[in-house]
A and B are shown apart, each in its own frame.
Chain A
């Protein structure tokens, strides 16, 4: 049976107070964003929008091996670009944010190429598909436990 009283985590010390406050980010400062990993484990790159529930601190993602570690770095950088993309859709003139977006985009592409060369293609049209036998259908698929 499930146990609601886990001793390791302080589940009920959380704040939900800022959720409906009118926070505007027209003046978001690219330098003030979380770093990609800290943003990734929160699901949010923008500290002024962060709102926790139940967990008093975001859960770290612990890699089991080198492959998982590389994927977490890649996930974090990809996530940073996804979140900044949404912001930039509305604030097309934010030069600093565009520069940071492109920095993370290039780092993510570099890491993806490294990952794919070791563990197979993430995108089917990557160079890692130029192997015999065909590597795209190799396990694990993303929904399969590592």
Chain B
């Protein structure tokens, strides 16, 4: 089960509304390298991991990704909060307003809805963990692209934090992958 902690993993207080960045950021909510996709990929793979290290790591990183879904959602909420219909339309978010009003919706930055088809699982721990390493690298790259597109410290702080988490997660997945490869070598 999960328990809700009524706080963010890292504080977000964005003072300036910025619909342009909200439109791009949404991909880290519901896009192919987004946090929702990562969370469910790891939490879905954990059941069949071969040992306790894998089960623990996928549970804990998957859980942290849920906290990152909340961070990204918070950023989108604050970046769009109080926007007028005219501002939404001018920022290319008129279709969002038509379909969802001011609600959030998990999509990529083109507006394609989130799909579970993004998540990878292959019935093989090495294949699974290498897909997790790739997911972390793609998310890191996306965060760098997003950081390239703003100079607002209120946005850069959380994006930089999230990018760094991808680096740590990648490192831990890589260590787990190497550990399994060593066992395979010894057993062959």
List residues of chain A with CB under 8 Å of any chain B CB. 2-6, 9, 11, 19, 23-25, 40-44, 46, 49-51, 53-55, 58-59, 61, 68, 71-72, 74-75, 78-79, 82-83, 85-87, 89-90, 92, 121-125, 136, 141-143, 145-146
- Nearest Cβ distance between residue B143 and chain A, in whole angstroms? 8
Count of B residues near A, CB < 8 Å?
A: 52
The 7 A-B residue pairs whose C-beta atoms are closest, nearest first, are: A43-B164, A143-B74, A43-B161, A89-B56, A6-B151, A89-B57, A59-B157
Is B48 in the interface zone, CB < 8 Å from A?
Answer: no
List residues of chain B with CB under 8 Å of any chain A CB. 3-15, 18, 20, 53, 56-57, 60-61, 64, 70, 73-74, 77-78, 81, 143-144, 147-153, 156-157, 160-165, 167-169, 171-172, 175-176, 179
- B14 adjacent to A145 (CB under 8 Å): yes
Q: Which residue of A lies closest to B9 (CB)?
A: A79
Main secondary structure of the interface of B (DSSP, over half): helix
CA distance A142 to B72 in the complex (A): 12
Contact partner of B5 (CB less than 8 A), chosen from A3, A23, A41, A122, is: A122
Q: Which residues of B contact A71 (CB under 8 A)?
A: 7, 11
- What are 22 contact pairs spanning A and B, CB under 8 A? A2-B149, A4-B151, A5-B151, A24-B175, A25-B175, A43-B164, A50-B164, A51-B164, A53-B144, A59-B153, A61-B157, A78-B9, A85-B60, A86-B64, A86-B172, A87-B172, A89-B56, A124-B4, A136-B6, A142-B8, A143-B73, A145-B15
Q: Which residues of B contact A75 (CB under 8 A)?
A: 7-11
Q: Which residues of B contact A136 (CB under 8 A)?
A: 6
Q: Which residue of B lies closest to A48 (CB)?
A: B171
- Nearest Cβ distance between residue A105 and chain B, in whole angstroms? 14
Contact partner of B168 (CB less than 8 A), chosen from A9, A78, A86, is: A86
Given contact pairs A43-B161, A53-B147, A143 touches B77 in the complex (Cβ within 8 A): yes
- B78 adjacent to A143 (CB under 8 Å): yes
CA distance A27 to B61 in the complex (A): 22
- B160 adjacent to A83 (CB under 8 Å): no
